Structure formats: C-alpha cells, structure tokens
Structure 1
Amino acid sequence: MMSNFDVLPGAEPFIQEGGKVGVLVSHGFTGTTQSMRPLAEAFAKEGYSVYAPRLKGHGTHYEDMEQTRYQDWIASVEEAYAWLSERCDKIFMAGLSMGGTLALYMAANHPEIRAISLINAAVEVPAMEGVKDLQDVRFLDAIGSDIKKPGIVELAYEKTPVASVKEILNFMELTHKSLNAIHCPALILFSPEDHVVPPNNSQIIFDHISSDEKNIIELPDSYHVATLDHDQQRIIDETLAFFHKFE
C-alpha cells in the first residue's frame, strides 16, 4: 500500500558512504531517525559508511504506521544492510529500543555481522500485553520522548496505533526466541530508569545470547531515549570503542 503522507522534516534516512567498514543504525518504535542521528553522524565522522533507514510507516503519520507489519520494519533494515553489503567488508549495527530488537534479529539471521550495540533494546514489555485484547480501539497515547534532559523532544508520533503494538509484540516474541542464535559481540547499554522498556530486558538479552564477548553498561542519567539524553556522548564513545575492537 502506497503512503499518502509526507516524510516529516528530520525523519529522513541518514546515508553516508565512507570506508569499507559499515554501520547500520536503527531507530525505534513510533520514532524516527532523529533519535539516532547523533550516533549516525558520529560514526560517519569516524570514516564508517553509515545507513540509518527510516523504518516503513515511521516518520510520516501514525495512520501510515497502522498499515505496516513488523516484516515491513525488518525489510527496511534488510534494504539498508544490502546497501552496506555492496560497499563494505565488515558491518556493525546499533539500535535504540525496537531498533535494538531489529539489531538482535539481524545478528541472529546474519551471523557475519561483526558486533552490535543495543540501547534500551526490547524483547518483552509486559505493559503492552493487554493491547492484545483491545477490539474497538484504534489508537493509544504516545510513547515517545521519554527523555530526562530538559528541553529535548523526540520526533515521534503523538498517537500509537493498536495494530502496531500487536505487531511489535509478535516481533519481540520472535526475537526473544532466537536470542541463543546470536554469537557476535554485543554491547548492551541500558537506562535503569526507563518508562517505556523495562530495564530488565537488557539482563534478559545478556543472559540468553550465545556471544562470548558481551558487555552490559548502565546509563544512569538518561531515560528511554538515551541517544538524545544526558548519556549521549557516553553511548557514542562506548560504541565506537567496542566496534574498533572487532574491525
């Protein structure tokens, strides 16, 4: 189905061709590339080839998102991965929230991915489970902009489609089941105070992936959208240091 909605300013994909090492960067559920642009720009500045796709149905209008399925979000990331694969010998991936879920999915299905950096990645959100029983409700309140830093706003939808919540629940369940298929090095960053994804998700991921090399780091001064919060520079520095080890 074709979208009749324009892409919101700031929600465009970020694509920069650099060297032979690539980084695929993914934003989260109902969000946009705006939340990941600081990381994408930092990686590009280091000389990496960087692709931060706009996930299908995102960055336009919540009615557009309502029409998409989790397979569409995977397809958006696979398309970016294909672009990087044509240009790069090695590929890393970084993702926030559902972007982290997508990074886990990609690592399980593309064992050649060198390493992943997960920021408040989601594999189970019990608070969302009740949505499965909703019949006559189309939209819920927004979940974006969970940020501690004053004056910073995430570019995200003002409503959340019920159909999309059902999709992410299915996608998280699928990804949760495949965690033991992940063997690549993983950097797991999490905010102990997160009002969207329970912080214990990071421990679940740490405990269930099969990676020999896995580190878990706390982001004490940020909420869910940590990439736009006080710990932004720490996320960039830790991720770059981690990726450098596996180039």
Structure 2
Amino acid sequence: MPLLPGAEPFQHRGGPIGVLLVHGFTGSPQSLRPWADRLVEAGYTVSLPLLPGHGTRWQDMQTTRWEDWYAEADRALRELTASCEQVFVCALSMGGSLALHLAAQHGSAVSGLVLVNPSVRSDNPASVLLPVLRHVVPSLPGVANDIALEGSTEVGYDRTPLHAAWSLTRLWQTVQAELPEIRQPVLLLHSPQDHVVSPANSELVLARISSTDVTELLCERSYHVATLDHDAELIFGASLDFIRRLTPATAEL
C-alpha cells in the first residue's frame, strides 16, 4: 500500500546528540517534520520513524497493536543510542505515551523528554465499550487535523480503527503504572483548547512522574496538533533550549 504524500519516515545524520521524534495515533511523520527540520538545522542527528499501520489507510491499523508501534520507536531509539552520545525523545499525543514508555524502559539512555499534548488516558466514557464495540463496528470518525491555524493540514486518517483504539487503551494502562519511574528531565507543552486530548492528560503526567527537572508551557493559540499550529515556533525554540541546556559540552554544534 503506497504511503500518503508527506507520511514518509525521515532520518538525518548530524552531530553527536540524537533526537527521536514520535508521531501520534492515526497520524504520520508529517505532523512533526517541521520540528525535525529545525533540529537538523541546529546540527542534531534526527530520527522520525513511521509507526506500523500508519501513513497509508486506516484499515492497515486494524491488525496492529501498541506493541507494534512501540517496537518501531524502540528500534529507532536503539539505533540512535548506538551512534550518539546522548538521545532525547520528542513526541506528540499518543507518541507521548510511547516516549514515556521508552523512558521507563531505557532509563538513563534517554536524556530528556519533550512532550506535546501527551495522550495517557481516556477522555471518552464510551471507551469502556471498546472491547465489545470493536468487534461490531470497524471504525469511528477520525481525530486528525485539530489545528487552529488556517491553511495548516495534518496528514492522518479520517477514521479511527477500533481494534487499534482498544489497544491504545492498553498502552495507557501500561504507561500510567510506569509514570513514577520517569526521572528524566521533562519539557511538557500543552494546549488549553485541545479537542482531542484533554488537559487532564498533562495534569496526570505532571502529577505522577518523579522527575525533578520539569518545565510546563502552554500553547495558548493552538489546538491538538500544536506542532503544525500557531505555537509551532514556541515548541521548536523551547525544545532546542531544553536540549542545549542538558548538553552543555555540545551546545554549540
């Protein structure tokens, strides 16, 4: 199945500091590509993988589970850690859950996390019906393209595959149990007006992680896909400052 235009994975070999970017549920690397480009300009080694089942058609997600998405993120992280002195993980939405799981599993191999509107819990009471509903209804309307900026578009699915959505709830359960294990520095940016992921998600992360170096910033003018929205420059600039602060020996690349 051919990829949607813009959904291609991206890699760039730069300096000794690596950055892994992880996209969201039913989304694609396109939502993070401008961020990746800014990191490349700053001299970093960058990896932006396409998660299994994404970037083609929503039906392709029906046979994938969160373990498949995590395995690809894990592979990309291991590739970076093998060739870089330090590695940071930046993520959007469901990618935030995968990033937190990576941090819990890999410990000090992850030097810091930048999370944008992380998704770590259900905001829909009807999600309790997913174990049964997924066998009756294949999909529901999608969640892509929640962007305030006129003319900005996300490459993602217009349907939400329910088998995959059910698996996402299992990922949330895993990550919630691991949050106290997170001790890495964290930069968390979230949008007060997010029609996909409620502020309760970011509140949960901030309340439960054990990190002592935590910065919270608001994306006041953006919706869920803030990386393609009005506050994209805030995200890019803050993440660069965050990484440079934690890599003093290589701040000037």
Percent of residue pairs identical: 40
Q: Which runs of 5+ in 1 are unaligned?
A: none
Using the TM superposition, give the Cα deviation of residue 133 of structure 1 relative to its aligned residue in structure 2, in angstroms.
3.6
1:9 matched to which residue of 2? 5
1:49 matched to which residue of 2? 45
* Distance in 2 separating the partners of 1:197 and 1:176: 15
- Secondary structure of 1:187 counterpart: strand
* Distance in 1 separating the partners of 2:143 and 2:128: 15
Using the TM superposition, give the Cα deviation of residue 87 of structure 1 relative to its aligned residue in structure 2, in angstroms.
1.4
1:102 matched to which residue of 2? 98
* Distance in 1 separating the partners of 2:228 and 2:168: 22
Whether 1:132 aligns to 2:131 is yes
Out of 60, 63, 69, the position equivalent to 2:65 is 69
* Distance in 1 separating the partners of 2:72 and 2:2: 17
* Distance in 1 separating the partners of 2:148 and 2:68: 31
Alignment of 1:105-116 (within 5 A): 105-112=101-108, 113-116=110-113
1:167 matched to which residue of 2? 167
Q: Normalising by structure 1, report the TM-score.
A: 0.96
* Distance in 1 separating the partners of 2:132 and 2:202: 27
Q: Is the 8 A contact 1:149 1:230 kept in 2?
A: yes
Give 4+ residue runs of structure 1 displaced > 4 Å after superposition. none
How many residue pairs get aligned? The number is 243
Describe the shift of the 1:126–1:9 C-alpha distance in structure 2 as closer, same or farther (beyond 3 A). Answer: same
* Distance in 2 separating the partners of 1:224 and 1:125: 15
Q: Which runs of 5+ in 2 are unaligned?
A: 248-253
Using the TM superposition, give the Cα deviation of residue 147 of structure 1 relative to its aligned residue in structure 2, in angstroms.
0.5
Q: Normalising by structure 2, report the TM-score.
A: 0.94
| Aligned AA (2:221) | D
Using the TM superposition, give the Cα deviation of residue 107 of structure 1 relative to its aligned residue in structure 2, in angstroms.
0.8
* Distance in 2 separating the partners of 1:178 and 1:223: 27
Alignment of 1:222-237 (within 5 A): 222-237=222-237
| RMSD, matched Cα | 0.9
| Aligned AA (1:46) | A
2:88 matched to which residue of 1? 92
| Aligned AA (1:243) | I
Out of 8, 32, 35, the position equivalent to 2:28 is 32
| Aligned AA (1:196) | V
| Aligned AA (1:175) | V
* Distance in 2 separating the partners of 1:236 and 1:20: 19
* Distance in 1 separating the partners of 2:170 and 2:217: 27
Using the TM superposition, give the Cα deviation of residue 118 of structure 1 relative to its aligned residue in structure 2, in angstroms.
0.2
1:146 matched to which residue of 2? 146
Out of 70, 81, 88, the position equivalent to 2:77 is 81
- Secondary structure of 1:126 counterpart: coil
Q: Is the 8 A contact 1:192 1:218 kept in 2?
A: yes
* Distance in 1 separating the partners of 2:199 and 2:131: 22
* Distance in 2 separating the partners of 1:98 and 1:244: 25
Task: Report Cα offsets for 1:1-50 as digits up to 9, x if no partner.
Answer: xxxx1222211111000011100001000000000001111111111100
